[in-house]
Amino acid sequence: MNLKPDSKVLIQGITEPLASIHVARMKAYGTNVVAGVSPGQGGQTVHDIPVFDLVEQALPTTGSIDTTIIFKPPYLALDAALEAIAANIRQIIIVTSGIPPLDMVYLLRIADAHKTLIVGPNSMGIIIPGKLLLGTHPAEFYTPGPVGLISRCGNLISEVALELTQAGFGQSMGVSIGSDAIVGSSFRQWLQTLNKDDNTKAIVLLGKTEGGNEETVVEYITEEINKPVVVYIAGRYAPEVKRPRHASDLIISQPAIEEEVSTAETKIGAFEKAKIPVAQRPSQIPDLLKKALKK
């Protein structure tokens, strides 16, 4: 994993309106954006960044690329990611949301075969405060410090970063793993990364009600992570959602066994049972961190 300030960054879909806004912010933050790719727009520049039609056309000018950030529309994101993998780019951040599930299943199989990190889709990317901005994080909410953030909740990571900053807790890294149903990198993977990071002294994990696998990392945290972890699960007061009945249940006129989908309460209960601190609201996270770091 190469997340150094001087690592080379490519933007696929650089002429998309959202990309143009955030490329300017990344560049102003010091991120080394060396080129953009947008088929049919080659030869242009966006914020003084050269634009190419294809990734392979950019490489002779830029040399090897460490990370690409994809802003392409959902139906074009798979092709963009496969093009990046073919160009030996091993870190891919997908900002795009709503990519077809089968496209993601196929992409993750190819990425695994090529040992490529996929962050997203529907991700705000990665920020190392004061050093590197890869994606759409509002950098003004972050400040360098010892707390690592991992989130599946979109903009919630920015809200928590601001809460921590105002409480005097800087951040070592902020990772938005993506909030679509199927995403690449996982909580476990980033917990492991932050556990090994010398600049990280504590970790905040931000989950949500719908889907996800927050409960599956409880045992991993208790057995493998030797740094304090604080958790917040969004959606504590969201209405419970139940699985629909199967057609066979309706045919035989039998009452269906309706299994409740994992809720905020079930996830919170799993962490509390393992004695992992859980915040009831984002503003409580700094206080829980203070207590955890004193132990």
Which tokens in the block code for residue 178?
């993506």
Q: What integer is the mean pLDDT of 69-78? A: 98
Highest mean pLDDT among 73-77, 240-244, 269-273: 73-77
Q: How far apart are CA 77 and CA 90, in angstroms?
A: 16
Q: Is the dihedral of CA 109, 112, 114, 120 positive or negative?
A: positive
Instruction: Look up residue 284 and give its DSSP letter.
Output: G
pLDDT digits (tens, 9 = 90+) for 130-146: 999 999 999 999 999 99
Q: What integer is the mean pLDDT of 283-294? A: 95
- pLDDT at res. 259: 45
Q: What integer is the mean pLDDT of 271-289? A: 96
Q: How far apart are CA 19 and CA 39, in angstroms?
A: 15
From the list 47, 114, 137, 246, the catalytic residue is 246
Name, in order, each residue with C-beta under 8 angstroms of 77's C-beta and a sequence gap of 6 or more.
Answer: 70, 94, 96, 99, 103, 121
- pLDDT at res. 262: 61
Q: Which residue has the tokens 């139940």?
A: 242
Strand 49-52 with 45-46, pairing: antiparallel
Q: How far apart are CA 193 and CA 207, in angstroms?
A: 18
* Backbone torsions φ then ψ of 101, nearest 5 degrees: -55, -40
Percent of the chain scoring above 70 in pLDDT: 89
Please say if the pLDDT value at position 103 is more than 90.
yes
- Assess whether 47 carries a catalytic annotation: no
Q: How far apart are CA 144 and CA 278, in angstroms?
A: 24
Q: Which residue has the tokens 């830029």?
A: 62
- pLDDT at res. 251: 47
Which tokens in the block code for residue 156?
């919630």
pLDDT tier at 256 (50, 70, 90 boundaries)? very low
pLDDT digits (tens, 9 = 90+) for 17-26: 999 999 999 9
Mind listing the domains of the chain with CATH numbers? 1-122 (3.40.50.720), 138-295 (3.40.50.261)
Q: What integer is the mean pLDDT of 92-114? A: 97
- 3-state SS, residue 90: coil
Q: What integer is the mean pLDDT of 274-290? A: 96
- pLDDT at res. 255: 46
